[in-house]
Structure 1
């Protein structure tokens, strides 16, 4: 039995990328409460690796009001659930134009389990070929660049990369390479 039981739920907001719901809950001691949850589809994050360099995307992140470097990542449109490996290949192609000859799942992340149900599959993409990006309208300001891994590590250490999913994915890459 779950320590917190959902008594009722209602959707309070929906758009093409997420829904927000408010759940009436009962705590283990029997007291009532509410819990707000953001539901988003599963995402894929891709680490494009070519030798000792990785490919990052830079874009303006409206909620924080700043441009950020991060690994390519995203969900399918219209809240669709797509097989993760297929989604990874599509996001890589859309955002960077890269195509992966080999794609390997290296981990699973939860975005913010106290706030959202969203999870993400992390993939390592290798045997890359370049092509033209196929970006969505929200990605029109996106830039891409190759970075040496030591530069990426310096960016993580100094705040040049602040995206928690990208930092966690890089840690998964390091652990994957140790196996």
Structure 2
């Protein structure tokens, strides 16, 4: 089987981290295309994240926070990565993100699927979880989340927010699609 048939159409010749901080790396790879010509591919290297759909009483718990790159506040399902570029168990991460951002702990959690975040510019993926049998407590926000707020919305209102453009977070919309496909 050829490289192209295997889906390996671009060969990595070398890789270099050209920038790094506590949240991400920017990599620049020297590549060789299938025709043998050289090239450069620059991409964001971030750890995978977990997203949690917390369902209760026919509705969902969302968080809203300011997202600096788009200069706007955003309603979305709770989501996040391990600190300091660490990796680990996606379910543990999902449970911790839900607890930190909303104060909610899940008695039951179900893995709905794994998705790519923005594969044209990053290898980052995410796991989607459905949380139920919820217990409420106090959130423990990180300094970067000091403007985060949490609110429960009925399903009809969430769907209206999606239709009107009130929810534009791609990961949230993709996760909601997974939820609909399993019939929840």
- Residue 154 in structure 1 maps to residue 160 in structure 2: yes
Q: Name the structure 2 match of 1:67.
A: 73
Per the normalisation by structure 1, the TM-score is: 0.98
Alignment of 1:7-86 (within 5 A): 7-86=13-92
Q: Name the structure 2 match of 1:138.
A: 144
- The separation in 1 between residues aligned to 2:98 and 2:55, in whole angstroms, is 12
Shift, 1:177, TM fit = 1.9
Deviations along 1:98-137, one digit per CA (max 9) or x if unpaired, are 0000000001110111100100000000000100001110
Structure 1: 5+ residue stretches without partners: none
Deviations along 1:55-100, one digit per CA (max 9) or x if unpaired, are 0000000000010100000000000001000000000000000000
How many residue pairs get aligned? The number is 178
Q: Name the structure 2 match of 1:103.
A: 109
- The separation in 2 between residues aligned to 1:27 and 1:116, in whole angstroms, is 19
- Residue 167 in structure 1 maps to residue 173 in structure 2: yes
- Residue 115 in structure 1 maps to residue 117 in structure 2: no
Structure 2: 5+ residue stretches without partners: none
- The separation in 2 between residues aligned to 1:40 and 1:117, in whole angstroms, is 7
User: Stretches of 4+ moved more than 2 A in 1?
Assistant: none
- The separation in 2 between residues aligned to 1:82 and 1:125, in whole angstroms, is 19
Per the normalisation by structure 2, the TM-score is: 0.95
- The separation in 1 between residues aligned to 2:32 and 2:70, in whole angstroms, is 34
**SS of the residue aligned with 1:12?**
strand
**SS of the residue aligned with 2:183?**
helix
